[in-house]
Amino acid sequence: MPRLILEGKVFHLKEEESVLDCLLRHEIEVNYGCQAGVCQSCLLQSEGEVPEQAQKGLKETLRVQNYFLACQCQPQHDLVIKRPVQENFQAEVISLEHLTPEVVRLRLSIPEGFQYRPGQFLNLFHEGQSRSYSLASLPNEPFLELHVRRVPGGLFSQWIFQDLTRGKRVEMSAAQGECFYTPGRAGQPLLMIGTGTGLAPLYGIARDALAQGHTGPIRLYHGSSIPEGLYLQAELREWMARHSNFSYVACQSRGAVADGVRAGRAVEIALQEERDLKGWRVFLCGNPEMVKAAQRGCFLAGASVQDIYSDPFLPAASS
């Protein structure tokens, strides 16, 4: 079986074991998050070539330097690997605001040299672990904005809801991900479907599109199973009054709904209303099941695969 050589130590891989699993089995401290090749927390660098699958989703600049995702890498030959020189950033908490009892708006200072596109995500680090959070702010705003949902017993959400206060410092990664607005096709219709804090990236992307003069329709469907998950409703309705090409539909999948809220799942309501998605650009964020169903539904309704951008909010896998 192939071996891993890290910092002079040799580790023997088991059959079909990933590099990440092998390192964790040997109790090597290594960053990781979703273990599904999305969050890119487990990025490592190899001296030689790595399997193609282990570089899926990485930027070309990283690929040519043999960076790879440890969770996706099952090498067929020995690998000499090292931890990347990580460009991490420190930011200060500017404010924490409860948008509902279940969702907090966390604003951070912008560290020097930190660059991003609205809708990308960053990884926060805490107690040797990391979690991804999407960027809802615009680069010309004087803060980074994250929307964090309370997850019962969740390490990071508990830390953010209970321990973080104004002035505290947090460590974070560079911005990552491909889910953002690119100008160039100003008249193209945009469909956005998000559940829970899946609204965060869409809030950033929609504002970015409007700020960049997007003229085509922008249809935002926000879903939650509970009323407390449907945050920022007043502001989003206000956008509709200000921008004739923007529409917003709040969808609640369980229980009695308030005035102006549609009963049902966001993905089903969106696909009932927008039946022909040929030529549309689609953004899907939040619950991984919803994202999967919506990818399929949007493709079947005519959207091209290259025009579907998605960020499933996969929970961090436990070790």
The binding site for ligand FAD (CB under 6 A) comprises 34, 38-39, 121, 131-134, 146-149, 151, 153-157, 197, 200, 311, 313-316
Task: Give 132 or 224: the residue with its C-beta nearer to ligand FAD.
Answer: 132
Query: What's the closest the beta carbon of residue 302 comes to ligand FAD, in angstroms?
Result: 26
Q: Which two tokens stand for residue 226?
A: 């509970």
Task: Give 97 or 273: the residue with its C-beta nearer to ligand FAD.
Answer: 97
Q: In b/e form, how buried is each residue of 207-216, taking b as 16+ CB within 10 angstroms? A: bbbbeeebeb
Cα dihedral sign, 295-296-297-303: positive
Task: Give 54 or 284: the residue with its C-beta nearer to ligand FAD.
Answer: 284
Task: Give 217 or 288: the residue with its C-beta nearer to ligand FAD.
Answer: 288
Which residues, 6+ apart, have CB-to-CB distance to 49 below 8 Å? Answer: 66
Q: Residue 221 in 3-state DSSP?
A: strand
CB 190 within 8 A of CB 216: yes
Three-state SS sequence of 2-59: CEEEECCEEEECCCCCCHHHHHHHCCCCCCCCCCCCCCCCCEEEECCCCCHHHHCCCC
Task: Give 260 or 315: the residue with its C-beta nearer to ligand FAD.
Answer: 315
Query: What's the closest the beta carbon of residue 37 comes to ligand FAD, in angstroms?
Result: 10
Query: What's the closest the beta carbon of residue 153 comes to ligand FAD, in angstroms?
Result: 5
Q: In b/e form, how buried is each residue of 48-59, taking b as 16+ CB within 10 angstroms? A: eebeeebbeebe
Task: Give 181 or 313: the residue with its C-beta nearer to ligand FAD.
Answer: 313
Query: What's the closest the beta carbon of residue 98 comes to ligand FAD, in angstroms?
Result: 13
The string of DSSP codes covering 152-205 is: TT-HHHHIIIII--TT-EEEE---B-S-S---S-TTS-EEEEEEGGGHHHHHHH
Task: Give 114 or 133: the residue with its C-beta nearer to ligand FAD.
Answer: 133
- DSSP strand pairing (103-108 vs 67-69): unpaired
Residue nearest to ligand FAD as judged by C-beta position: 154
- Distance of alpha carbon 161 from alpha carbon 144, whole angstroms: 17
Query: What's the closest the beta carbon of residue 23 comes to ligand FAD, in angstroms?
Result: 20
CB 163 within 8 A of CB 190: no
Query: What's the closest the beta carbon of residue 275 comes to ligand FAD, in angstroms?
Result: 29
Query: What's the closest the beta carbon of residue 121 comes to ligand FAD, in angstroms?
Result: 4
Query: What's the closest the beta carbon of residue 16 comes to ligand FAD, in angstroms?
Result: 23
Task: Give 274 or 311: the residue with its C-beta nearer to ligand FAD.
Answer: 311
Helices (H), 224-305: 233-242, 266-273, 288-300
